[in-house]
Structure 1
């Protein structure tokens, strides 16, 4: 009877060790996936900021050039602002298609990707 009790205790200890190890493995897996997602998002954010700076400078140049063509420099800024307003309205109307879906697919793809 003593050997059965000792065997059950050993089995319980091994089950406990297995459960702890499995929990640690899942915890590290979540940390790895989170780090992967956040590092990819950070890289995209940096690239996006650089592209935005390019577009800002290009927009100022385009506004000055358009203002020169229209006769007064501030007319060019109004024209470019109107173009951005139209672009913003289009993005608002199609936000699910152009923003929500790609971001969701990116996050889901990073989460489910197996290395």
Structure 2
């Protein structure tokens, strides 16, 4: 009967170790996931804050440029029209190169951030 008792104790020890291992792996997975989510959220917050302030700089810079062009040409509406035309051309260029200069870098940054350790 003694060998069965040793076998039973060994099986119980093995089961306990396997249970601890599974629990540790689960906790590690949860912590890694939480870390990646926190990193992603903080990166998104930083990008949004920079975008808001960058947008304000562009807005007020555009207004100042439009007013200056309006003073130089004698037509405030013309100054704003020239700035709008400049933004339309810039938008068209960005649309044409969006895959190469916008989509792929953003996709690569996302992959590096979430899938590469």
Q: Under a length normalisation based on structure 1, what TM-score does the superposition of the two structures give? A: 0.88
- Equivalent residue for 2:55? 52
- Equivalent residue for 1:30? 33
- Equivalent residue for 1:12? 15
- Equivalent residue for 2:83? 80
Structure 2 alignment gaps of length 5 or more: none
Specify the structure having the higher radius of gyration (Cα).
2
Higher relative contact order (CA 8 A, sep 6+): 1
- Equivalent residue for 2:72? 69
Q: For 1:17-70, what per-residue CA distance to the aligned partner results, in whole angstroms no more than 9, with x for missing partners?
A: 101110110110111022112212211221221111011001001011112222
Shift in Å at residue 112 of structure 1? 4.4
Partner secondary structure for residue 50 of structure 2: helix
Structure 1 alignment gaps of length 5 or more: none
In the aligned structure 1, how far is the partner of 2:97 from the partner of 2:85? 18
- Equivalent residue for 1:111? 114
- Give the 4+ runs in structure 1 shifted more than 3 A: none
Q: Under a length normalisation based on structure 2, what TM-score does the superposition of the two structures give? A: 0.87
State the number of aligned residues. Answer: 114
In the aligned structure 2, how far is the partner of 1:94 from the partner of 1:17? 53
